[in-house]
Amino acid sequence: MAGNKKPRGTTDEETGLSGNGKVKGATAERLKRLDFHSALRGEVLPLCRLKAGEVWEDPGRGHRVGVLDVTDPKDVSALIGREKAVLIVNDPPYNVAVGGANTANLFKHSLEEYLDFSRKWVANAVDVLADDAHLYIWIGADYRDGLQPLPDFIVLMRDFQELTVRNFITMRNQRGYGTQKNWMWVRQELLYYVKGNPDFNIEAEYTDIPKILRGYYKEVDGERTENMERGKSQYIRAGNVWVDIQQVFYRMEENVPGCYGQKPLKAIERILRSASGEGSLVIDFFAHAGTTLIAGERLNRQVYTCDIDPVFAEITIRRLENFRETGKTGWQWRNPFPELEQE
């Protein structure tokens, strides 16, 4: 039974398992972070159907998943060909060392290396955008290192004259990290650019939070009205500070064990609804947990995505297959690679 199997890539202390293998916490994630456990990753690699440079094409809706280097124009062409996207949603590595005394830090490159990497993939993204299109980029800021790369990345983006900055969005996490001597870090930053003059679906911005505050008065056609009377909806708009989206964690159905920093499906679907229509082509250069692909499948968009790591490309494909088979958007705490489960 799954409840008596030890999550791979973990120690007993990390998983809540005792020395004899009995589960102390039945909901412990069945697969730990694949970017931290090289031995576990070595076991997963033979299960991956794609190798570097290869692209899988979905026989159902024509989605594509590749193992590609998005800094290389040839690899981007292998994924997209001559097509153009109305929307690109990218969640690149942040170059932020997250971790503490009990957890290892994410790898970190020099700022110069990171900006060179970013310049190359942004240039390739601009090349495959339609004349009127949207570009969303999740990005981080390391408060222990001058808030890089956020401000440096923003300055870099000024070099792309084809793009116009449209907004700077913050999504608030329910949980964060920090110390007893600082404000807890709970924010995720999302930069929004456009190319040309694309349509924006304002209906996508409305949340499920009812309007409860009154008192913003002004005259309309000689009559004094308040904000509740003038509004087109009984719900508030998300604006550029999103507080209504749950951060993904292991008890949520959409959780993908083995992945770190997974973006909420609700956030990606909000972006897709605002910036694309049914049948539109959406691109994601950094597939990781495959959330953009699942959002596109649910909203009837065509998604082309890739990852330089075949493990995350495989997870992305499996997540789509699992969704179609079960209707579930992820694995919660269960293992995306059941072949690895130990008796």
Which pLDDT value is given to residue 1? 31
The residue among 177 and 210 whose pLDDT is bigger is 210
Tell how strand 302-307 and strand 64-67 pair up.
Answer: parallel
Q: In angstroms, how far is CA 119 from the centroid of its own chain?
A: 20
- Please check whether residue 4 lies inside any domain of the structure: no
- Please check whether residue 22 lies inside any domain of the structure: no
The residue among 234 and 124 whose pLDDT is bigger is 124
- Res. 6 pLDDT band, cuts 50 70 90: very low
The residue among 198 and 105 whose pLDDT is bigger is 198
Residue-wise pLDDT tens digits, 322-339: 999 999 999 998 999 998
- Res. 123 pLDDT band, cuts 50 70 90: very high
pLDDT at position 13 over 50: no
The mean per-residue pLDDT over the stretch 114-133 comes to: 98
- Please check whether residue 133 lies inside any domain of the structure: yes
Which pLDDT value is given to residue 12? 39
- Please check whether residue 15 lies inside any domain of the structure: no
Decide: residue 250, CB within 10 A, 0-12 exposed, 13-18 middle, 19+ buried: middle
Which structural domain range is residue 296 located in?
Answer: 31-340
Residues with Cβ < 8 Å from 100, sequence gap 6 or more? 177
pLDDT at position 103 over 50: no
Decide: residue 129, CB within 10 A, 0-12 exposed, 13-18 middle, 19+ buried: buried
Residue-wise pLDDT tens digits, 256-311: 998 888 999 999 999 999 999 999 999 999 999 999 999 999 999 999 999 999 99
Structure tokens at 332: 């919660």
User: What is the Cα–Cα distance from 194 to 126, expressed in whole angstroms?
Assistant: 10
Residue-wise pLDDT tens digits, 282-294: 999 999 999 999 9
How is 65-110 classified by DSSP, letter by letter? Answer: EEE--TTSHHHHHHHHTT--EEEEEE---------BTTBPPPP---
- Please check whether residue 14 lies inside any domain of the structure: no
The residue among 39 and 16 whose pLDDT is bigger is 39
| Percent over 90 (pLDDT), the chain | 62
- The pTM for the full model equals 0.86
Mean pLDDT of the chain: 85
Residue-wise pLDDT tens digits, 54-83: 999 999 999 999 999 999 999 999 999 999
- Please check whether residue 264 lies inside any domain of the structure: yes
User: What is the Cα–Cα distance from 70 to 47, expressed in whole angstroms?
Assistant: 23
Residues with Cβ < 8 Å from 112, sequence gap 6 or more? none
Tell how strand 241-242 and strand 235-237 pair up.
Answer: unpaired
User: What is the Cα–Cα distance from 96 to 74, expressed in whole angstroms?
Assistant: 28
Please tell me the total count of domains within the chain: 1
Residue with tokens 């870090």: 185
Which pLDDT value is given to residue 16? 32
Which pLDDT value is given to residue 210? 82
- Please check whether residue 26 lies inside any domain of the structure: no
- Please check whether residue 16 lies inside any domain of the structure: no
- Res. 219 pLDDT band, cuts 50 70 90: low
User: What is the Cα–Cα distance from 140 to 55, expressed in whole angstroms?
Assistant: 29
Which pLDDT value is given to residue 116? 97
The mean per-residue pLDDT over the stretch 164-191 comes to: 88
First to last CA, the chain: 8
Report the range of poorest mean pLDDT among 29-38, 125-134, 258-267, 283-292. 29-38
CATH number at residue 106: 3.40.50.150
Which pLDDT value is given to residue 178? 67
Which pLDDT value is given to residue 129? 98
